[in-house]
Chains A and B, each alone.
Chain A
Amino acid sequence: MVPLSWYIMLSAVMFSIGVFGFLARRNLIIIFMSIELMLNSVNISLVAFSHYLQSMRGQILVFFVIAVAAAEAAIGLAILIAYYKNNPTIKVDEITGLKG
């Protein structure tokens, strides 16, 4: 049996890779994938905790997260396409119409 801490470590590493990808990559699609990676790392830790605690709450939350992530992907890609129609680029460095 794999101990709980391994799952938590895996989840933490995946989450960190996701955060790094979000901050360091310059392609919107890759950034979007990094966000999905972060969400799925959370799912791993939720399922691991749920199994360890013998409680269903974590697994219920995982289903909601998966459903919401699907909705999020639909809206996110729609926004991306709306942007691409006016401005054909997906490089973050070229999206500078609004100065921060």
Chain B
Amino acid sequence: MYDFEVARPSTIAEAASALSAEGAQVLGGGHTLIPTLKNRLARPSVLVSVSRIDEMRGVRVENEKCLCVGGAATHAEVASSAEESFPALAWLAGNIGDPAVRNRGTVGGSLANNDPSACYPAAALAVGATIETNNREIAADDFFRGMFETELKEGEIITKVRFPIPDAGNYQKFEQPASRFALVGVFLAQFGSEVRIGVTGASESGVFRWADAEAALSADFSTEAANGLPAAPGAMINDLHGSGEYRAHLMKVLTARAVAAAS
């Protein structure tokens, strides 16, 4: 990797200040960024690590309705802290990578990177999470902008994510054989009779809400309804691990499983 400086601020304000430097970049768990640097595919001047910012750590339940996760909270923390309050999200977090990944990787890092096969974006979309930064709040529906693209501006840090806790929720992940990222992942959330579905891994446009499935399942929450869904619109990812057609098929299978599991 190329030379760079490391800043380790202890407050969000210090981090924001450090990020104003030319070529500065946020460092969360580093599981995408560090391999990128090792391959010399990025050349930041300074990495601003957020792992020592206490106000960005922690996982807690607010008003029994919302799981508030610090932007620098690790997947392992979410997996253990949300087990009672939001088991679907805890399961999602507990099945990312391996223990080493889960003890370093952060929620904020995953959402900010918006890898088209990452798990958290599907959950954020499905429950209508609010992404808080050092400057503002962004609704999940407005946050994701296609593969690896988000609403975040330069120097903006995800400080906290508020996940509304659904009445019923379930995440189904079909693993890509090599990376064990989601070849397709479907997060289903039910608030009253309203069903919301976030899909990751499938679309060339990145994570998305599957409107047809939401409408059909809001009207009839059954595996039969899931199995009868029309093919999802838009171009699906086509690579050596699966064609677009296969991914579209997996979306239905996983949605039906999520319905069965959440029923």
Whether both chains belong to one complex is answered with no
